[in-house]
Amino acid sequence: MALLILSAVVLMSAGVTHAWLKNNHVEVIRNVDKTEQRINDHEDSINSLQVKIDKKLNIYQLRDDLERADSRLVLVPVSVLEKIPNHPLNEVADTLGDKFTVAQSRP
């Protein structure tokens, strides 16, 4: 009789543990689904923003927008452009003297 009662208690606790673990498993799956949905939403937002950026950077659209706005900007030939070489940071610091600190060298 004692063995039967002990078996019943073990089986009941095993059933409760199984139900509890299954419930936790379902909660984890729901959280994973919510996270995947949020990731998909963010990816959609990123794609939408990238399309807007590409549209704004479209050279022909930009020219049309500037023309419609009566902008005074004019097209500059490539031959007029001049490349200015970068100067190392310590050379800039030497020219500025005591006015320059490392904190000022970073944005």
SS (H, E, C) the chain: CHHHHHHHHHHHHHHHHHHHHHHHHHHHHHHHHHHHHHHHHHHHHHHHHHHHHHHHCCHHHHHHHHHHCCCCCCCCCHHHCCCCCCCCHHHHHHHHHHHCCHHHHCC
Q: What is the pLDDT of residue 94?
A: 63
Q: What is the pLDDT of residue 100?
A: 52
Residues lower than pLDDT 70 in the chain: 87-107
Q: What is the pLDDT of residue 89?
A: 66
Q: What is the pLDDT of residue 33?
A: 96
